[in-house]
Chain A
Amino acid sequence: MSAADPSAAPAAAAVADPDGPDAVRLTWNTWPRSKVEASRCVVPLAATISPARVPDPSAASPPPLPYPPLRCKPPCSALLNPFARVDFAAKIWICPLCFSRNHFPPHYAAISESNVPAELFPQCSTVEYIVGGAGVPGVGGAPAPPPPVFLFVIDTCVIEEELEYVKMAMRKAVALLPEHALVGLVTFGTQVHLHELGFSDLSKIYVFRGTKEISKDQILDQLGLAGAGRPGFPKMPQQPGGPQVNGMHPPSTAGVNRFLLPVSECECALSTLLDELQPDQWPVEAGNRAIRCTGVALSVAAGLLGACMPGTGARIIALLGGPCTEGPGMIVSKDLSEPVRSHKDLDKDAAPHFQKAIKFYDGLAKQLVSQGHVLDVFASALDQVGLAEMKVAIERTGGLVVLSESFGHSVFKDSFKRIFEGGEQSLGLSFNGTIEINCSKDIKVQGIIGPCTSLEKKGAVCADTVVGQGNTAAWKMCGLDRNTSLTVFFDVSPSERSSQPGHQNPHLYIQFVTSYQHPEGQMRIRVTTICRKWVDGSTNTEELVEGFDQETAAVVLARYISLKMEMEEEFDATRWLDRSLIRLCSRFGDYRKDDPSSFSLHSNFSLFPQFMFNLRRSQFVQVFNNSPDETAYFRMLLNRESITNSVAMIQPSLISFSFDSPPSPVFLDVASIAADRILLLDAYFSVVIFHGMTIAQWRNMGYQNQPEHEQFAQLLQAPHEDAQMIIEGRFPVPRLVVCDQHGSQARFLLAKLNPSATYNSAHDVAPGSDIIFTDDVSFQVFCEHLQRLLAVQS
C-alpha cells in the first residue's frame, strides 16, 4: 500500500522551501487530461528539476542508501518508489507508472509493514543511492574515486595588469584545490601553449598553431598520447616518491599525466610557471586586435582530456580576455575596423564568422559530451569574447559561465574562487550526470531546456513535438551543481484505452532518475518521483487554477521564448507573450463582457501579468540593448538557475530600508524611490543599493560616524548586510552597485523600475521621488490595455 498522499506533500513543503524536498516545480500541479485541454491552458505543462540540489539540511532526509535501487521490469525500468503499492506478504511491488508487478529480490526478504526500506518511506519521494565504490562503471572495484581534473586555459593576449589579476586568481585557486586533484595548464594567444608540468629540467611547452583546426586524434598523436592514453590513465597519481626524473618520455610519465599532475606534485612548477607567464609575445600590428586562437586552445584542451578515461570528471576552465580572432571559432577578424557582431548583424545575417564558429563549438560540444567533460568560461573583457558562439559548448556540457569586465573585477575574482571552495560554500560541482525520465503512460516528454545534452535514447516517453533537447528519454549532464536546474516540457497524449472513463487513475506519476558523480567522488543515483492529479479541465477550471504555479509559469515561459527567439527567425517575442497573456487571462480570468473594470484574477494568477510585463521589458526579450554575448550569458543562467533566482532575473525584488518601517519589499516602481529611503534591488546579475537624496546627504556629512546617530549608521549598514547575503549565496557573484539618487550609477536601478512616472507624466511628482526618462508604457497602462482587450474581445 502506498502511504503517500499525493497532493499533500508539495503543498506542505512549499512553505519551507519553494522548491520542496524534491526540488521539482511544475507550472501546473493539476493536469488536464486531453491534448486540447492542455493547449487551452496556454502555459505549457512543464516541470523544473534541480537534480543535484542539496535539500535543506533542516528537512529530515535519509542519508544516501548504500545499495543499488530496484527497477521495474523493462521497458518501464522505473525505480522502486514510495508510490508503489507493496504486497508485503507476496513480496511483490506494483510499479505506479506501468502497473507491472515485480518480485522483491531475495535480499529484500525481511521486508514487512514494520520494516520498510527507506525508499518506500512516504517522505522519501527523493532518495539517493550510492553505487559502486569507485563509481566508474566498467572499471570494477578500484577503491578510490578518480581525482577531479582541472585544466586551465588562460588567455595571454591581455595587458600585463589583467594578466597579473589572472595570476593572482590562479594562485588562490591552486591553493584551494584538493591535493589529489589533477591540474593542467594551457595558455594561448597567437598560438596555444600546453605546459608539461611533469618535466622538471626546464619549462616545457607544446606549441600548437592558432590557425589550423586540429582533431583530437592529431593532438593525442602529437603529444605522444595516442594509444597510451586511455588504458594508461592512472587512477591515482603514480607511485609515491616517483618524481619525474630526467627524460622526455620515461615510461612512468608516458601518459596524460605528463600534463595533468596532482596539485601536490606540481604546485611548485605551477607557481613558477605563473610567475614567468607573460602576455603573448607575438606582435600586435597597429589597428589590429591581438591574434587570439581561443578555438584551437579549447580544441587542444579537449583533446588532451580525451586521453583521460571517459567518466573521469574533468573541467576545462577557460579564462578569456577577448574575442577569438584566428582559426576555428573565430568570431571577428583581427582588423579593428571590423566591429564584433551585434544582434543587428545576426538579424541581418551580416556576421560572417558566426555560423562557422557555431559549427565549430557544436563539434567541440559533441566531443566534450562524449568524453563527459565540462567547459567553463570566465570571460573578462570590455568587448565581447564570443560567448554567443560558445554557448552551445558551455550549455551542453553543463559548464559554468561568468561574464565580467575585467579579471580584476569582483564578479570574476569572487566567482572564480567560489568554484574551488569546499564545505558549505561549495557549489557542489558534480560530474558525469545522466538523467532519465519515466512517466505515467499518457505523458510524453517533449524535451529539456537547460544545461544538458540529449543522449539520443529513443523511448516510449518521447513526444512528437520537440522542445529543446528532445526526442530522447535520457540526457547527459557532464557537469552539474547544486543549482543546476532543468526544465522538462511534457505533452499529454492519452491513449485510447486510458481515456475511457472508469479506467482512469486519478494520479499521474513522473520519475526523474539522475546518476552522477558526487563531489566526494562516488557515483550516486538520485530518484525523484512525483505524483500529481489529473483533472478534467473542460469541466473543472477551478482545480486547474488551484494547481497553477505562476512563478514557475513565468520562468518557463521566459525560457521557452528565449529558445524560440534563438531557434526561429523573425520570432516576435513581445507579440507572442501578449497573445499568450491575453489567452490565459481570457481562459482563467473573471470579467464581464465590455466592462474592463470588472476584470479580476485568482490569486494564483495575480502576479502573472506583472511577470509578463517585466519579462517583456527584460534583457531576455529586449535583446537589442545588449550584445549577443550578454544575451547568451543571461539566457544560459536563466536556463540553469532555480525558479526563485530566475524570477529575480525577470522581475527583480526591491526592498526598502527606512527609519519609518522595518525593511520591507516595495513595488518595483519608480514611485518607491524616496529621499529618505535606501532601496536594495536584487536583479540577480546585479545588486543595487540606492540611497535616497536625503540619506546620501546625511551620509556625506558623516552622521553615521557620530555616536548620537548610531541608528543612521545601522540603517546604512543594513542593506549592505542583506546584499552580502544575497551575494554569498549566488553563483556567479552578482555585481554590487552602490549609488545615490541622481547619481550616474542610479541607472542600474531606474532601468528596472516600472516607469509609472515619466517626463510625460510629470504632473504630480512628489518631492524626493523620481521620474524615468522613457517612452515605455507603465504597468498600469499595460494592464488597462489588457483589460480592455479582454473585455472587448470576448
Chain B
Amino acid sequence: MASSPPQQQPPPPFAAQNLTAQGPVQVPPGSGAGALPGAFANLQISRGAAPPPGAPRGLTPQQAPPAFAARPGPPPAAARPAFPGSPPAPPFVRAPTAATSASPPFGGQPGLVSQPLPPFGGPPGAASQPPPSFGVPPGVVSQAPPPFGGPPAAVSQAPPPFGGPPATASQAPSPFVGHTVAASQAAPFGGPLVAGSHPPPFGGPPVAGSQPAVPPRPTFPGHSGPMAAAAAWTQPTPPSFGAPQQPPPPFGSRPVGQPPFATQSAPVAQQLPFMGPPRANAPAFGPPSWQAQGAGSGAMQPPMRMPGIPGSMQPNTLGPPGTPTIPYSPHAGTQVSTPSKIDPNQIPRPMPESSVIIYETRQGGQATIPPAASSEFIVKDTGNCSPRLMRCTVNQIPCTGDLLTTSGMPLALMVQPFSLPHPSEEPIQLVDFGEMGPIRCSRCKAYINPFMKFVDQGRHFICNLCGFRNDTPRDYMCNLGPDGRRRDADDRPELSRGTVEFVATKEFLVRDPMPAVYFFLIDVSMNAIQTGATAAACSAIAQAISDLPEGPRTMVGIATFDSAIHFYSLKRAQQQPLMLIVPDVQDVYTPLQTDLILPVSECRENLEQLLESIPNMFENNRVADSAFGAAMKAGFLAMKSTGGKLLVFQSVLPSLGVGSLSAREAEGRANITTGDKEAHKLLQPVDNTLKTMALEFAEYQVCVDVFLTTQSYVDIASISVVPQTTGGRVYYYYPFSALSDPAKLFNDLRWNISRPQGFEAVMRVRCSQGLQVQDYFGNFCKRVPTDIDLPAIDSDKTVMVTFKHDDKLPENVECGFQCALLYTTVYGQRRIRVINLSLSCTNLLANLFRCADLETQFACFLKQAANGIPTSPLPRIRDEATNTCINILQSYRKHCASVTSSGQLILPEALKLLPLYTLALVKSVGLRTDGRLDDHSYWISLVSSISVVLAVPLVFPRLIPIHDLISRDDDDSLVPSPLMLNSENVQEDGIYLLENGEDGLIYLGNMVNPATLEQIFGVSSLAALPVQLALDQFDNELSRKVNEVVNEIRRQRCSYLRLRLCRRGEPSGDFFRSFLIEDKAPGVFSYVEFLVHVHRQIQSKMT
C-alpha cells in the first residue's frame, strides 16, 4: 500500500507546473500564481484559503463584480477569499465566487502578470496531469496529494478540503442566508474584495534564502507572459506585500484581503540572518517607544525597564544585554513614587504586528527564534518545522533541570500537527520509501530527519535523538559532500525539511485504513424540539453533507434519540426510510449490522429527505427524557467496525439510560452558599461511566463531537470527558436561540467536517537523550505512557507535551524533538507526519529569557490552570497563576538584572506582557468565582486543546469600535486596531465588538447615534433592538464594513463567534465589562495595581 507510486496519489491537479522547479514550490509573487493555483490549493494546507491564491487574484477588481454576479456556484477555492496571510478563508462568508468566470485575471492591471489560467476555473488541462516527479529522486513525491487535499476533484469542489474554516461562501444555499450578514453580502465580501487586495500572499518569500533583504517592490512585479511563472521562482522575488501601492480597488471598498499591516511591509523583507527584525522576532507587541531602546542594540533584544516605585528613572545601560529598562511612565524619573503615579499609558501592552514576516526556521545552522504566534508570518522550512506545527516554550533548551527550575519557566512543546499553513507556504512534502518504509533509527525508532548525521562516507548515520550509530540501508546510500552533508540532502525532503510525511507501509497498518465515517445523533426530546434545536441540527447537517469528503469511502449514518434511540436505515431500495428504535437504554445494541451506515453517495437524497422530516415527525413529542449516553453508545456500536466521527446534538441534561446525569448544579449552588470547599468537585465528571465508555470509543477509533444546544444546565463537566478522550470537542450554544444560533451551528459543523484532519491517529513525541517526555495534555486517549491515541485529529487541536530532564544536555549539541503522527487521511491513505525541531542548548539563564516564547508559555500556563480547576479551589488556582508569573520575573530580576535597583520592576523583553496576560487569566471566565458551572466546564474543555494562537485571545479579547468603521482612515487593515481593554475606551456613544475567538459581544452605549443603529442593525432605537442578534447586512457602507470585519475575525479565529448584544445597565453590559481586563473589579486588581502587586512580591522575595 505504502508504496503506491506517487503518480497515483490523488491529486495535485496542477502539480505539473510546480514540478519543474526544484525544491519548494514557490509561487512567484503575484504572477504565475494563476498557473499554479491548483497545485497550490491542493498542496497547501492553506491557512486561509484553500483557494489557490490565484483564484482570488484572478479577479481583477474591476472585473470581479460581474463575475460574481454571474456565478453563484463558485469554484471552491474562489469562494474562499484567500487573503494573503489571512487565516483560513472567511468561513462564513457566503460569497459566490466565480473565479472561473473571471477570466483574465489581471488583465489590464499593471504589475499583474497576465495569468494564463484562471486559477480554478475549469481546471486547465493541468488538472488531469499526474504530478510529475519533482526532479528529486524517485520516491520523493512532492506532496501532491495533500493529506486532505484529496482527489483532484477537490479542486473543483466547493470548499477545498483544506480550505480552511468552514466557508459558507461557496455554498449556494447558505444556512443563514436569511439572517446573516454573510449571506446577503455575498458579492461584496467574498468576491472582489478578496481578489483585489490579495496579491502578496503568494508572492512568496524569495526563494533564495541567502538574499538578505529585498527592497520592497511594487506589488506586482512586472513579470508577464507565461514564462513569468517559471522565472518567478528561480529568481529572488521580492515579497510583494505592497498592497498599498496597488491601485485602490475600484469598488471603493478597502482591500479586504490585504495583510493587515501592509503599509509596513517593507521591513519585513529585511532578513537579518540571526535575528529577525525586531518586529519579527520579538513578541509583536509593545509600543514603539519601548522599542526605541532596544532597536539600537542590534542583536540584543530591546530591553525594557520599569522604574520601581520609588526608583530611579535612569534606563540602566549597565544592565545585561537584553534587559533594557523602561520607565513605568515617561515621567518616572522624576516623580514616580507610588503606584498610583504610574502612567497607565506607558505600561506594557500588546502592539499589533503590522507586517507579514518571512520566517526561515533555521539559518546558518541554527534554529531561529520564531515570530510571535499571533503575528502574520510565512514560514520557510529550512530544517526545523514550522512554528505553527510545533513550538517550544523556550527556544533554547536549558542544559540542566536546575537551570530550568531556576528560571521558573516551563519546558513544553505545543504540537498542532494539522495547523493551517499560510497560503504562501510550501506544502508539506510526501515521501514514499516504497516497501522499505521510512528510514528509522534502529534503537529509538526515530524517523530520519535533517539532524541525523551521516558519517563514514554515508554508510552510517547517527541518530540525533539517541546517538545510536545505524547502518545506512544500501538503497539509501549516498556520498557525502565536502560540507559533510549528503550530496542529495537538498533533494530529499526528509533530509532538508523539518516536516515531511511518509507513506505508511504495511507494518503501520493493523487493518485497512478506515473509511471516513460520519454518524449524526440528534436529540429529539421535547425540549430540543420546542427550542428549535432539532430543526437547527437537521438543517445544519443537511447542508453540511455536501462538504463531506468526496468519494466512495465517505459514509454517513444518522440516529435520533429521546428516551429511546431511533436509527434509520436509508437504503435506497426502501421506499421510505425505516426507523428502528432501540428502547433499551440501559444496555444498548445496534439494530442492524448493515444499512445503518452507508456511502453518502448512495443515500444522500434519502438522508436529506429524512433530515427535512425529522422536526415534523417529532413535532408533538412529549418525551422530556434524553438518553444521551445510551445514544452515543448505540451510535458507537453501529460504527464500531470502522471507527469514525460521531457528531452528537444534545439539548438537555441526559436524564435516562446508561451514563445519565443529575442536576448537580442545584446542589452545587447550595454548597457554594454554604461555603463548601468541595465546590470544585462539581467540575469533575460525576462518575466513571462516561469515561469508560469514551475509552472504549477511542479504542475503536470513534471520535465524538458534542454540540450542546441547550437552555439549561447539562453537566458539561461530565459530558466533556467523552470528546476529550476521543479527540473531539464540545460546542456550546447557551442559551440556544433558534434565531441566531443555527448559523453558527451550521458553520461549526461545516468546519468540523471540512477542516484538515486525520483519523485513527497515534502520536509520539521523541526527544534527545537527557530529556524525557513528562506528560501529554490535550484531547486524546492514552493507553501506554509513550503514545497518545487520537481517534481523530484536526487542524484546531493542539497537544501540549511537557518535558523534564533526566540528565545533562551538552551545550554544544542541539537538542532534538521529533513528533511522529501516524494517521489516516480522509481519503483513506495511511501517513506518518514527522515534525522535527532542533534547538540549541544553553547554560545561560539570560539566553533562556531572551529566547522565551511568551505566547507558548502562556498557553502552557492556561492549560495547566484549566487542568487544575476541577481538582483545586479556584482561589488557589488564581494564586498559582500569579505566583508562576512572579517567580519567573523574580528569577529574571535576581539572576539577569540583579544590578539594577530593587526599586525597579524589570521585565524581560520577551516576557514583558506576562503580567498582563496573567492578570487576564486570573480574571478569565474559567477562573472567576462567579458564573455557571457549565460555563466553567466549557471553558476548561475548550482550553484543553486550544492552540497557541487562540490561547491569548481567549482570555485577552480584542475590543474593536465598530461605529466609526467608515470614518477610519487607516485603510490598510480590515480589522481596526484593537483598543486597550479598559472602560476609558468604551464611550457611551459608541458601538464596540469584543471578541475572544468564541464569543463576540457587541456593546451598545446608551447614547448611540440612531442613524448608526439604523445602519448596522436596521432599527431606529435602542429599545427596538431584538434580544437575539442576527447580524444582517443592510445596504449601506457601515453595515457592509461591520460585516466585513466580523467575517474577517471569523476567518482569523476559525470560529463563527456567538454574537450577543450587550447594553449598559443590563446583566449583559456587566458581562461585557467583566472582560475589560485592565479595569479594577471588585476583589480583583486593575492592571496597574497588579503590576504593583507583582513588584512588591518580587521585592519581598529578593530581600
A contact set with B: CB distance below 8 Å: 191, 193, 196, 199, 201-209, 212, 214, 218, 222-224, 245-251, 272, 276, 281-283
* Complex-state Cα separation, A276 to B578, whole angstroms: 10
Decide if B581 is an interface residue (CB 8 Å cutoff).
yes
* Complex-state Cα separation, A214 to B577, whole angstroms: 28
User: Does A246 lie within 8 Å of B617, measured CB to CB?
Assistant: yes
User: Does B583 lie within 8 Å of A248, measured CB to CB?
Assistant: no
A300 to chain B, nearest CB (A): 10
Partner among B563, B574, B577, B583 whose Cβ is within 8 Å of the Cβ of A208: B583
* Complex-state Cα separation, A687 to B583, whole angstroms: 48
Decide if B799 is an interface residue (CB 8 Å cutoff).
no
5 residue pairs, one from A and one from B, having the closest CB atoms:
A247-B620, A222-B583, A207-B591, A206-B581, A204-B579
Known: A224-B563, A281-B594. Contact between A206 and B583, CB under 8 A? Answer: yes
B517 to chain A, nearest CB (A): 19
Those of B214-232 within 8 Å (CB) of chain A: none
Known contacts A203-B576, A204-B579, A281-B595; 13 additional CB pairs below 8 A are: A202-B576, A202-B613, A203-B574, A207-B580, A207-B583, A209-B587, A246-B616, A247-B618, A250-B620, A276-B574, A281-B592, A281-B594, A282-B593
Q: Chain B residues near A209 (CB, 8 Å)?
A: 584, 587, 589
User: Does B622 lie within 8 Å of A249, measured CB to CB?
Assistant: yes
Known: A203-B578, A205-B581, A208-B584. Contact between A281 and B620, CB under 8 A? Answer: no
In the complex formed, the residue of A with least CB distance to B566 is: A204
User: Does A248 lie within 8 Å of B584, measured CB to CB?
Assistant: no
B611 to chain A, nearest CB (A): 13
User: Does B574 lie within 8 Å of A207, measured CB to CB?
Assistant: no
* Complex-state Cα separation, A281 to B589, whole angstroms: 15
Known: A205-B580, A206-B583, A207-B582. Contact between A281 and B593, CB under 8 A? Answer: yes
Q: Chain A residues near B617 (CB, 8 Å)?
A: 201-202, 246-248
Q: Chain A residues near B582 (CB, 8 Å)?
A: 206-207
* Complex-state Cα separation, A762 to B737, whole angstroms: 98
* Complex-state Cα separation, A212 to B589, whole angstroms: 11
Decide if B509 is an interface residue (CB 8 Å cutoff).
no
B633 to chain A, nearest CB (A): 13
User: Does A191 lie within 8 Å of B591, measured CB to CB?
Assistant: yes
Partner among A202, A208, A251 whose Cβ is within 8 Å of the Cβ of B578: A202
Q: Chain B residues near A224 (CB, 8 Å)?
A: 563-564, 623
User: Does B620 lie within 8 Å of A222, measured CB to CB?
Assistant: no
A298 to chain B, nearest CB (A): 17
User: Does A248 lie within 8 Å of B591, measured CB to CB?
Assistant: no
Q: Chain B residues near A247 (CB, 8 Å)?
A: 617-621
User: Does B581 lie within 8 Å of A249, measured CB to CB?
Assistant: no
User: Does B618 lie within 8 Å of A248, measured CB to CB?
Assistant: yes
Decide if B1100 is an interface residue (CB 8 Å cutoff).
no
User: Can you offer 28 A-B residue contacts whose CB atoms are under 8 A?
Assistant: A196-B581, A199-B579, A202-B577, A203-B574, A203-B579, A204-B579, A206-B582, A207-B580, A207-B581, A208-B583, A209-B587, A218-B584, A222-B583, A224-B564, A224-B623, A246-B617, A246-B619, A246-B620, A247-B618, A247-B619, A247-B620, A248-B617, A248-B620, A249-B621, A250-B622, A281-B595, A282-B593, A283-B593
In the complex formed, the residue of B with least CB distance to A209 is: B589
Q: Chain A residues near B584 (CB, 8 Å)?
A: 208-209, 212, 214, 218, 222
Q: Chain A residues near B621 (CB, 8 Å)?
A: 247-249
Interface of chain B, main secondary structure: loop
**Size of B's binding interface in residues, CB under 8 A:** 33
Q: Chain B residues near A202 (CB, 8 Å)?
A: 576-579, 613, 617
Partner among B576, B585, B595, B623 whose Cβ is within 8 Å of the Cβ of A248: B623
* Complex-state Cα separation, A282 to B583, whole angstroms: 19
Q: Chain A residues near B562 (CB, 8 Å)?
A: 248
A524 to chain B, nearest CB (A): 39
B592 to chain A, nearest CB (A): 6
B623 to chain A, nearest CB (A): 7
Decide if B575 is an interface residue (CB 8 Å cutoff).
yes
Residue with the greatest number of chain A CB neighbours at <10 A, chosen from B583, B595, B621: B583
In the complex formed, the residue of A with least CB distance to B609 is: A202
B562 to chain A, nearest CB (A): 8
In the complex formed, the residue of B with least CB distance to A214 is: B584
Q: Chain B residues near A191 (CB, 8 Å)?
A: 589, 591
* Complex-state Cα separation, A248 to B617, whole angstroms: 7
In the complex formed, the residue of B with least CB distance to A283 is: B593
B854 to chain A, nearest CB (A): 55
In the complex formed, the residue of A with least CB distance to B584 is: A222
Q: Chain B residues near A214 (CB, 8 Å)?
A: 584
A671 to chain B, nearest CB (A): 61
In the complex formed, the residue of A with least CB distance to B620 is: A247
Known: A248-B620, A281-B593. Contact between A212 and B578, CB under 8 A? Answer: no
* Complex-state Cα separation, A282 to B594, whole angstroms: 8
Partner among B583, B593, B594, B618 whose Cβ is within 8 Å of the Cβ of A223: B583
* Complex-state Cα separation, A205 to B579, whole angstroms: 6
* Complex-state Cα separation, A351 to B263, whole angstroms: 90
* Complex-state Cα separation, A202 to B613, whole angstroms: 10
In the complex formed, the residue of B with least CB distance to A212 is: B587
* Complex-state Cα separation, A207 to B581, whole angstroms: 5
B756 to chain A, nearest CB (A): 36
Residue with the greatest number of chain A CB neighbours at <10 A, chosen from B562, B585, B589: B589
B284 to chain A, nearest CB (A): 56
A348 to chain B, nearest CB (A): 36
Known: A246-B616, A248-B618, A248-B620. Contact between A205 and B578, CB under 8 A? Answer: yes
Q: Chain A residues near B578 (CB, 8 Å)?
A: 202-203, 205, 276
* Complex-state Cα separation, A283 to B564, whole angstroms: 25
B225 to chain A, nearest CB (A): 62
B610 to chain A, nearest CB (A): 8
* Complex-state Cα separation, A173 to B364, whole angstroms: 90
B590 to chain A, nearest CB (A): 9
* Complex-state Cα separation, A251 to B622, whole angstroms: 9
In the complex formed, the residue of A with least CB distance to B588 is: A209
A79 to chain B, nearest CB (A): 48
In the complex formed, the residue of A with least CB distance to B618 is: A248
* Complex-state Cα separation, A199 to B613, whole angstroms: 14
Q: Chain A residues near B593 (CB, 8 Å)?
A: 281-283
Q: Chain B residues near A193 (CB, 8 Å)?
A: 580
* Complex-state Cα separation, A204 to B618, whole angstroms: 13
Mark contacts of B559-576 with chain A using CB atoms, 8 A cut-off: 1 yes-contact digit, 0 otherwise: 000111001000000111
A98 to chain B, nearest CB (A): 54
* Complex-state Cα separation, A208 to B562, whole angstroms: 17
Q: Chain A residues near B576 (CB, 8 Å)?
A: 201-203
Q: Chain B residues near A208 (CB, 8 Å)?
A: 583-584
B210 to chain A, nearest CB (A): 65
Q: Chain A residues near B587 (CB, 8 Å)?
A: 209, 212
Partner among B581, B589, B619 whose Cβ is within 8 Å of the Cβ of A204: B581
Q: Chain B residues near A218 (CB, 8 Å)?
A: 584
Q: Chain A residues near B583 (CB, 8 Å)?
A: 206-208, 222-223
A737 to chain B, nearest CB (A): 41
User: Does B575 lie within 8 Å of A276, measured CB to CB?
Assistant: yes
Q: Chain A residues near B594 (CB, 8 Å)?
A: 281
* Complex-state Cα separation, A206 to B524, whole angstroms: 16
Q: Chain A residues near B613 (CB, 8 Å)?
A: 201-202
In the complex formed, the residue of A with least CB distance to B562 is: A248
Residue with the greatest number of chain B CB neighbours at <10 A, chosen from A196, A199, A207, A245: A207
Partner among A222, A245, A250 whose Cβ is within 8 Å of the Cβ of B564: A222
Mark contacts of B773-817 with chain A using CB atoms, 8 A cut-off: 1 yes-contact digit, 0 otherwise: 000000000000000000000000000000000000000000000
In the complex formed, the residue of A with least CB distance to B622 is: A249
Residue with the greatest number of chain B CB neighbours at <10 A, chosen from A248, A249, A272, A283: A248
In the complex formed, the residue of B with least CB distance to A250 is: B620
B957 to chain A, nearest CB (A): 43
Q: Chain A residues near B577 (CB, 8 Å)?
A: 202-203
Those of B731-787 within 8 Å (CB) of chain A: none
B595 to chain A, nearest CB (A): 7
B613 to chain A, nearest CB (A): 6
In the complex formed, the residue of B with least CB distance to A254 is: B622
